[in-house]
Amino acid sequence: MTDARDTDLKRELDATLHARRELGPEYESELADSFLEKIDQRIDGAVERRLRRTLAEQQMQVARGTRGARSGTDSWGERFGFGIVSLVLAIPLSAIGGGTAHLPGLLVTWFGVVGVNVAQAVRLNPGMFHRRDHGHED
């Protein structure tokens, strides 16, 4: 199935390059944007499938009672996957934010990426930002 998708993507790239040759450099930006949009859709679809599969596996584990005392997405692999997905999605979002609003758009994009990851970390470790008192009284 991956080979078929790779073949489709190669065909799309070939068609984009052919259109660029026929239309000339004045349409280069639009053609590149169109091709990147197709790649974004492909990435979004792969991420969505992976998330659905993970959710289904978690639901099966909960239904079987095989999930330990810890709940939610708290295994190392799931945390790592969340970080990777957020970085993968940050690439096209950075291009869009930086392309439309330049530096402010890029900053907003990355504050959002960092914010989502901080929210995930706080969700998994609720006491992470609370001051720890080690028995010292002021």
Identify the pLDDT of residue 136.
54
> pLDDT digit string (tens) for 100-123?
899 999 999 999 999 988 888 888
Q: Do the beta carbons of residue 49 and residue 43 sit within 8 Å?
A: no
Identify the pLDDT of residue 2.
61
> Once rounded to an integer, what is the mean pLDDT over residues 77-106?
87
Identify which has the larger pLDDT, 74 or 46. Answer: 46
> Once rounded to an integer, what is the mean pLDDT over residues 120-127?
80
What are the tokens at 137? 């009284």
What are the tokens at 100? 């439309």
Identify the pLDDT of residue 111.
93
Identify which has the larger pLDDT, 69 or 133. Answer: 133
Q: Do the beta carbons of residue 96 and residue 113 sit within 8 Å?
A: no
Structural element, H or E, at residue 124: helix 76-124
Question: Can you tell me which residue has the tokens 């970390």?
Answer: 121
Least reliable range by pLDDT among 7-11, 63-67, 134-138:
134-138
> pLDDT digit string (tens) for 21-35?
888 888 888 888 888
The full 3-state SS of 76-115, as one line of letters, equals HHHHHHHHHHHHHHHHHHHHHHHHHHHHHHHHHHHHHHHH
